[in-house]
Amino acid sequence: MIFFTGFLVGVVSLIPGISGGTILILMKKYEIVSNAISNFKQKENHILLLSLVLGIFLGTITFARVIELFFYFAPNCTLILFSGFVLFSIPDLIKSEKMKPNILWIFLGALAIYILSTLSVTSAPIILDYPKITILFLISFSFYGLLDGFFTILPGVSGSMVMMIIGPYYLYKSYLANLNFQNIIFLVPLLCYFLGDVLGFFIGSKVSLYFLKHLRNIFMSFVLGMVIASALVLLPVHSLTTSNILLYIIVLLISYIISQLLNLVK
C-alpha cells in the first residue's frame, strides 16, 4: 500500500494544483510517512520510505508523457485546468482545517509566491533545446528538486505548481517524458533532481510537522495565501480573448468537477 501511495504521489506531483501531501492525507499515510522520515534511523522505516520513493519515481515516469501531450496540444487550456484545481481546492482547505484565516499571514504567503514568480526561469511548455549538462546546472537543478520536495509534502501546496511558477517544471517534465535509451543522459539531471526532491521531502516534513503542531492556524493561513496567489499566477490571462472565453469556462468547469470528485473520495 505504501508503494501504491507513492505511485499516486508521483502521478499528482506532475499536476500543478494537486498536492502530494493531500494524496498522503487521502490515503491516510501522511502521519505514517512523516513519522518515518522523522525517525529515519529506525530500520523498519528504511523499507517503508524506499517503497514510497520507488513508487513516486515510477509514478512520475509513467505520467510524464501524458502531461507532455496535454501541453503540446492545448497549453493554455492545460494551464486553465491546473489553475482551476488550485482555485477549487481553497474552500476545502479552509473547511478541512477549520481555519480562522489570518489576513497578515495570507498576505505574506501570497507575497512569497509573487517573489518566487519574479525569479522565474523562462521556459516554454514544450522543450526543444535542452540545456548543456554542466556541474553548475546539475547543482541548480538539484536545488529546484529540493524546493519541489519541500513544497510537495506541505498540505494544500503543490510542489509542481511552485516549480511551474519558478520555471524548471517544463524541463523536468520533458526529461521524464523523453527518457529512453537514446536519451539515457537525461538520467543524470533526473537523478540530481530526484535526490534534491528526497532531501526537500525530508526537510518539508520536519518543518510542516513543527508548525502544524505549534502554530497551525498561522501556518495554514500562510499556505492559503500561497495557494490563492498560485492560482492567479498560473492563469494565462495574456491569451484570454472573446473567441476562447467560452472554452476556458468549460475547462474551468471540468477542473471543478474533478476537484469535487476528489473531495468525495475524502
Q: Is the pLDDT of residue 145 over 80?
A: yes
| 1 or 183: which leads in pLDDT | 183
pLDDT digit string, tens, across residues 10-63: 777 777 656 666 667 656 677 787 777 777 777 778 888 888 888 887 888 878
Q: Provide the percentage of residues in the chain whose pLDDT is more than 70.
A: 86
pLDDT at 242: 77
Residue environment code for 13-44, b if the CB has 16+ CB neighbours within 10 A, otherwise e: bbbbbbbbbbbbbbbebbebbbebbeeeeeee
Q: Is the pLDDT of residue 160 over 60?
A: yes
Q: Is the pLDDT of residue 95 over 90?
A: no
pLDDT digit string, tens, across residues 192-243: 998 998 888 888 878 887 887 888 888 888 888 887 887 777 777 777 777 7
pLDDT digit string, tens, across residues 67-89: 878 877 888 888 788 778 777 87
Mean pLDDT along residues 236-251: 81
Average confidence score pLDDT of the chain: 80
CA distance 119 to 125: 17
For the chain, how many structural domains are there in total?
A: 1
Residue 138, number of CB atoms within 10 A of its CB: 16
Q: Provide the percentage of residues in the chain whose pLDDT is more than 90.
A: 9
| 119 or 186: which leads in pLDDT | 186
pLDDT at 55: 86
pLDDT digit string, tens, across residues 117-135: 776 665 666 677 888 999 9
pLDDT at 256: 86
Where in the sequence is the domain holding 123, given as residue range(s)?
Answer: 2-265
